[in-house]
Amino acid sequence: MNFIEGEILYIDKPLGWTSFDAVKRLRGALTRRLGIKKIKVGHAGTLDPLATGVMVLCTGRATKRIDELQSGVKEYVATIALGATTPSFDLETEIDATYPTEHITRELTEECLKKFTGRIEQIPPAFSACKVDGKRAYKLARKGHDVELKPKILVIDSIELLSFAPTEIQIRVVCSKGTYIRALARDIGRALGSGGHLTALRRTRIGQIGIDECMTVDEAAELIRTTEIETYDEED
């Protein structure tokens, strides 16, 4: 393998890790193996620390392909708690309001999900990397500032209801780049008249790459340590 000329690795990001944590771990493995001080390593498609699943890592000159790789269709399996909301729309923050769920049925949920397929408008979460006046929205939100973000147009190809209970649903979502599943959880909960927030998220596909084709971070580090590689100085 030639990591400086450019390789693409498919990683199953573990729970609790930021996307940068995975990049940092493998960059360190590469610099040690190659005996160099630095090498370009980037990722295509950020995952929140509370999410797991497919993440694409690019090394060397392959980092030029990041925009191309992250533009592919993505698939997620999401668990949404109904009847409660949080400021971050997930488990990063505490519940701030609760709502009744007795009226929610499987039929109502399936009808509701149909409203979120196709070309839709979505307001990103305040706890996100979107920029407001040059500053990351999540940094402002964590300081207690009110954050107003403009809606974005995106495409959701399909939503499938995998499991149902009045207080929790699990869905499979196939969607375009830029979709915030946390915001989708918020919007579905609101549409059901109960509130909702994301409690688990797993990205199962980017483009044609599925979760079964991914390595763990440890397996990727071991591959770097043991595989036959070409070594030479990276371009300036």
Which residues form the catalytic set? Answer: 48
Element (H, E) at 160: strand 152-165
- DSSP of 40-75, one letter per residue? -EEEES---TTEEEEEEEEEGGGGGGHHHHHTS-EE
Separation between Cα atoms, residue 202 and residue 51, nearest integer Å: 6
Task: Please say whether the dihedral angle defined by the alpha carbons of residues 58, 61, 67 and 71, taken in this order, is positive or negative.
Answer: negative
Q: What's the farthest any 2 CA atoms get from each other in the chain? A: 65
Tokens matching residue 102: 């007795």
Residue type, 16: G
